[in-house]
Amino acid sequence: MHTPSSRSGPFALARTLAWLRLCAIAGQSVAILSCVTLLKLDIPLLPLMLGVCVLAVFAAAASFRLGMPWKVGEGEAIVHIAADTLVLGYLLYFTGGAANPFVSLLLVPIALSAAALSIAGVSLVAILTGVAYVLLVPYHLPLPTLGDKSLDFDLYVAGMGVNFVIMAILLGVFISNLAKAIRLQQGEVQRVRERALRDEGILAIATQAAGAAHELNTPLSTMRTLLPEIRREHATDNPLGEDLDLLEGQVERCRTILREMVAFGQAQLSQVPERLTLDEFVHVCLERFQLLRPEADVTLTLEPGAGRIALRSPPGLRHALINLLNNAADASALNESAAVGLRIGIVEQWLELTVTDEGPGFDEVDELGTLGLSQKETGLGLGLALAEATAERLDGELAASNTGHGAQMRLRLPLRVIGDHA
């Protein structure tokens, strides 16, 4: 399939030419038959209709080609223009050549290519149409007349008027569509650039985190060694003993977190996904989240039958969900609430993980994954950025919305990517 970024430039030009070709076939057929039946002009009907049929065959082949997944290059787009120019020149040859009021239609390929091709491509198209026009000046069959010079002039003026309307419609409608396609491409390039900057920031923070984890291991080991010594020296001091118990627990918790960081880093490097059911995945995530935030009141809604779905869960998915739950707990706490909702279901071929809170909601639901936009007074503000990066890596999406009594984050992931089809 063509990606959004490929639907501009040569591809957009080829697609525009395909629509123009269909309009040209219909318009040329009506014009030829009108000249023969209504105006009674003695024009070569058979050669003209043969040219229209050739254009129709090429239009069918070009439309079939545009449905293929192969990229449309600039050279191929120029070949399409050359074929259209050749057929138009053939038709003009039998209808007066350069004296035909519709000869200015040769300018349309130049105008269209100027919005989609490089300077070299536009120059080549201009040369093709210019050569066609120059050849039509000496080489053509003269237009038959009606026998009255005033009628012939009126017919010529009428043809120029029709040609003006056609040119105005073509230039107004189709060039605006080409410009729109180019703007969409520029927007996609800008989004890719922003994602690259975000991923670069995440990578820098991850590098610093790895170094910090390595450096923290030494002081934690020292504290773990000294705390039992302090306990033995003050064995009769019960209040101090309770504080030492708390410190030992916190030290062990820090060591556990560091071990999990190392394990997570190794899993990311190995790129080996976990194989488990959706029910098991949710249970592990909630168990981990409740250890981090025991005060949170999580309400789980799991669609019947969805828990048995087998997953190939990448290492970052669990952390993405935990980050969303943690952000929801922070948001609810702003309104003195501990409620966090997690709804899981299957919509067509998508796994949807929806996290809700009872916080103040979002002021602006936009650019959630950009570093530095977090309004939280605590934390690093990286939860949404990491979750969004994980969603994009799995061909999914992260969407935010306000529910009226809080905010909602919906993580959608395609089952074709994370489902365990084995």
Q: What share of the chain is helix, strand, coil (3-state, %, to 5)?
A: 65, 10, 25
Residue 76 lies in a domain: yes
Closest CA to 403 of 351, 354, 348, 353: 354
DSSP track, 271-317:
T--EEEEHHHHHHHHHHHHHHH-TT-EEEEEE-TTGGG-EEEE-HHH
**How many angstroms separate the CA atoms of 151 and 128, rounded?**
34
Residue 366 lies in a domain: yes
* 3-state DSSP of 149-166: HHHHHHHHHHHHHHHHHH
Q: Which among 95, 126, 144 is the end of a domain?
A: 144
Residue 395 lies in a domain: yes
Q: How far is CA 31 from the centre of its chain?
A: 43
pLDDT tens digit at each of 422 positions of the chain: 444 434 457 888 888 889 889 988 998 899 889 888 888 888 899 999 999 999 999 999 999 998 888 888 899 999 999 999 999 999 999 999 988 888 888 988 888 888 778 899 999 999 999 999 999 999 999 888 777 778 878 888 888 888 888 888 877 887 777 677 777 877 777 777 766 666 666 565 556 666 666 677 778 788 888 888 888 888 788 888 888 888 888 888 787 777 766 665 555 555 566 778 888 888 888 888 888 788 889 999 888 877 788 887 776 788 888 889 988 898 888 888 889 999 998 888 888 999 999 888 876 544 444 433 444 444 445 667 777 877 887 888 888 888 878 888 999 988 888 876 55
**How many angstroms separate the CA atoms of 340 and 359, rounded?**
10
CB contact at 8 A, 94 and 52? no
Length of the chain: 422
CB contact at 8 A, 89 and 128? no
Residue 263 lies in a domain: no
- The pLDDT value given to residue 111: 84
- The pLDDT value given to residue 3: 44
Domain carrying residue 337: 273-421
Q: Report which residue type is found at 358.
A: E
- The pLDDT value given to residue 131: 94
- The pLDDT value given to residue 374: 43
Residue 236 lies in a domain: no
Rounded to the nearest 10 degrees, the angle between the axes of helix 10-37 and helix 74-93 is 10
Tally the domains of the chain.
Answer: 2
- The pLDDT value given to residue 267: 55
Q: Which among 101, 125, 144 is the end of a domain?
A: 144
Which DSSP state fits 99? G
CB contact at 8 A, 14 and 63? no
Which DSSP state fits 419? B
Q: How far is CA 109 from the centre of its chain?
A: 29
**How many angstroms separate the CA atoms of 155 and 168, rounded?**
20
Which DSSP state fits 37? H
- The pLDDT value given to residue 90: 94
Residue 323 lies in a domain: yes
CB contact at 8 A, 368 and 198? no
DSSP track, 116-131:
TS-HHHHHHHHHHHHH
Residue 404 lies in a domain: yes
Q: pTM value?
A: 0.50
Residue 289 lies in a domain: yes
**How many angstroms separate the CA atoms of 383 and 386, rounded?**
5
Residue 382's CATH number: 3.30.565.10
Closest CA to 344 of 289, 405, 411: 411
- The pLDDT value given to residue 379: 45
**How many angstroms separate the CA atoms of 155 and 146, rounded?**
9
Q: Which among 126, 144, 162 is the end of a domain?
A: 144
Q: Report which residue type is found at 180.
A: K
CB contact at 8 A, 303 and 344? yes
Neighbouring-strand partners of residue 399: 410
